[in-house]
C-alpha cells in the first residue's frame, strides 16, 4: 500500500487525512479521468429531470452544508 511508503501519513490528524485525500482527488479528477456508464448517464438524466420538475423538493447546497456544519461542529 502507498501509506506504508509514506509513513508521515500516520502522523496526520483525521482532518488532515481527509484534506489530503480531497487534494489528491482534485488533482487527478479531470473530464478525461473516467467515462460514465450508460446506467450512470440514465440515472443522472433521471435526477436532472426530477430536479427540473420538482424545484420545491430540492435543498440548496449552501443550506445542506450549513446544516451539516452546525450538526457536526465543523
30 and 57 together in one domain: no
41 and 29 together in one domain: no
pLDDT attached to residue 23: 94
74 and 45 together in one domain: yes
Name the residue range of residue 12's domain: 1-34
CB 1 within 8 A of CB 10: no
User: Minimal CA–CA distance to 33: which of 22, 44, 25, 41?
Assistant: 25
The residues, any chain, with a CB within 8 Å of residue 58's CB and separated by 6 or more, are 51
Number of domains in the chain: 2
Q: What are the pLDDT tens digits along the chain (74 aa)? A: 888 899 899 999 999 999 999 999 988 887 777 788 999 999 999 999 999 999 999 999 999 999 999 999 88
Grid coordinates in use for 39?
Answer: 446506467
pLDDT attached to residue 15: 95
pLDDT attached to residue 74: 85
pTM: 0.49
Report the distance separating Cα 63 and Cα 70, nearest Å.
Answer: 11
Question: What values do phi and psi take at 47, rounded to 5?
Answer: -70, -40
Amino acid at each position: 500500500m502507498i501509506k506504508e511508503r509514506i509513513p508521515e501519513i500516520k502522523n496526520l490528524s483525521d482532518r488532515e487525512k481527509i484534506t489530503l485525500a480531497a487534494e489528491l482527488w482534485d488533482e487527478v479528477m479531470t473530464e478525461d479521468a473516467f467515462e460514465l456508464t450508460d446506467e450512470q448517464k440514465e440515472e443522472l438524466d433521471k435526477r436532472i429531470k426530477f430536479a427540473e420538475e420538482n424545484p420545491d423538493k430540492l435543498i440548496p447546497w449552501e443550506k445542506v452544508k450549513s446544516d451539516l456544519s452546525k450538526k457536526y461542529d465543523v
